[in-house]
Amino acid sequence: MKAISRRYDPERDFLRVRDMLSETYAQFDKPLNWTIERWQYARHFCAPMLGAYGLGTASDNSLKDNIEKSKQAIRLWESAICIWENEQDGIAGVVCPDEYVPWHPGSGLAFFQRRPGYDHLLSEMLDYAIKKYVWRGISSVWVPSHDAALSIAAQQRGFKPSDKGLEYWLEIDLAGLPHGHLPEGFTLQSMADNNDLEKRRKIFGLSFYHKDPKEWPTVFSYQELQRAPDYREDLDLAVVAPDGEFVSCCIAWVDMHNKIAMLEPVGSIVLGMGREVVMEGLRRARALGAQIGIMTTSLKYYEKIGFMKKYPYGIKWRKNVS
């Protein structure tokens, strides 16, 4: 089936791509495309956060320059996307970035989303990626381990798989989740209980080893995240220590069409509290109708807390284009 490529139109296409990702999740033998939270997280958090990286102090959050840098990064992320569509199926294919700012290696990494029956678009999608996604002379594409068509097409274009960075597909059955066991004085709360963006961006930064407040997400970045269509304040969780500080965090996302729950991001600075906030997120997702929790990761941590490794999920393939 023929499909025509065109530039991405954020007003017209953002929700249409989200819906395509949800619709196609179960249409392949194993999922090939992003799940809905990654599409929203890339636009509504990664782009504005990276655009204002280094400006994260509280005094900078009101500066026009800070906000404008985030907005510029959002526009840059949007400018890297190409859409393929036709009248029959609507959006049939997408090439999009995850983290896309000039100084970040993610600028050279393209992700492919497509409907079943459109493998013939891969050659054209790869040509687009080679031109648009380059960082330090290297163009990279993410190839699911079970995507034979993309593997063949990438190999024909001169891409080679990396020897590191393999991720796995993990799942957890939400029917058998354990009860929470918080230490005395610790509590769980959501952003619906207390939308404290200063504490929330602080625990995010510390969880990912950024001690300097300038490297934490700006308040504007977090406000953008809260505008994502499937973000819910009651699923944005933190474990609170007796002194009132957040010590772990996660956001649960729910795709009700597929009855799945995803976690993005997860962070912790106190041993054991990551598990507690993750399980609470999954319990809340289950209460909304989700049946399975999924993760794509190389971290063994999630297996230790109850996720089951299902199969290798994917790895970067790279090509020198300099």
8 & 57 share domain: yes
Asked whether residue 61 carries a pLDDT value surpassing 80, the answer given is no
Residue 38 CA, chain-centre distance (Å), reads: 3
Tell me the average pLDDT across 45-62. Answer: 80
pLDDT band at 224 (very low <50, low <70, confident <90, very high): very high
User: 280-305 b/e with 16+ CB inside 10 Å = b?
Assistant: bbbbbbbeeebebbbbbbeeeebeee
Domain of 273 in residue numbering reads as 171-311
CA distance 199 to 62: 17
10 & 159 share domain: yes
CA distance 232 to 261: 13
145 & 187 share domain: no
Mean pLDDT of the chain: 95
181 & 284 share domain: yes
Asked whether residue 145 carries a pLDDT value surpassing 90, the answer given is yes
Token pair for residue 66? 């800070």
Q: Kindly report which listed range (13-17, 113-117, 161-165) carries the lowest average pLDDT score.
A: 161-165
Q: Kindly report which listed range (124-133, 175-184, 257-266, 273-282) carries the lowest average pLDDT score.
A: 175-184
Tell me the average pLDDT across 167-185. Answer: 95
Q: SS3 of 318, please? A: strand
pLDDT band at 62 (very low <50, low <70, confident <90, very high): low
* Tokens 């010590």, residue located: 247
> What's the pLDDT score for residue 102?
93
The secondary structure element, H or E, covering residue 150 is helix 148-156
67, HSE (Cβ side, Cα atoms, 13 Å):
9
CA distance 94 to 84: 6
> What's the pLDDT score for residue 55?
77
85 & 161 share domain: yes
124 & 179 share domain: no
The secondary structure element, H or E, covering residue 280 is helix 273-287
- Which residues 6+ apart lie within 8 Å of 168 measured at CB? 296, 297, 298, 309, 310, 311, 312, 313
Closest Cα partner for 259 from 243, 275, 237, 282?
A: 282
Residue pair 277/304 in contact by the 8 Å Cβ criterion = no
128 & 182 share domain: no
- Which residues 6+ apart lie within 8 Å of 304 measured at CB? none
158 & 207 share domain: no
CA distance 189 to 245: 11
Beta-ladder partners of 295: 170
CA distance 159 to 150: 11
Q: What is the domain count for the chain?
A: 2
CA distance 282 to 183: 20
161 & 211 share domain: no
Residue type, 232: R
Q: SS3 of 141, please? A: strand
22 & 84 share domain: yes
> What's the pLDDT score for residue 59?
59
> What's the pLDDT score for residue 322?
74
Domain CATH for 226: 3.40.630.30
Closest Cα partner for 253 from 14, 1, 40, 15?
A: 40
DSSP assignment of 124-138, as one string? HHHHHHHHH--BTTE
Tell me the average pLDDT across 195-209. Answer: 96
100 & 34 share domain: yes
177 & 159 share domain: no
Residue type, 28: F
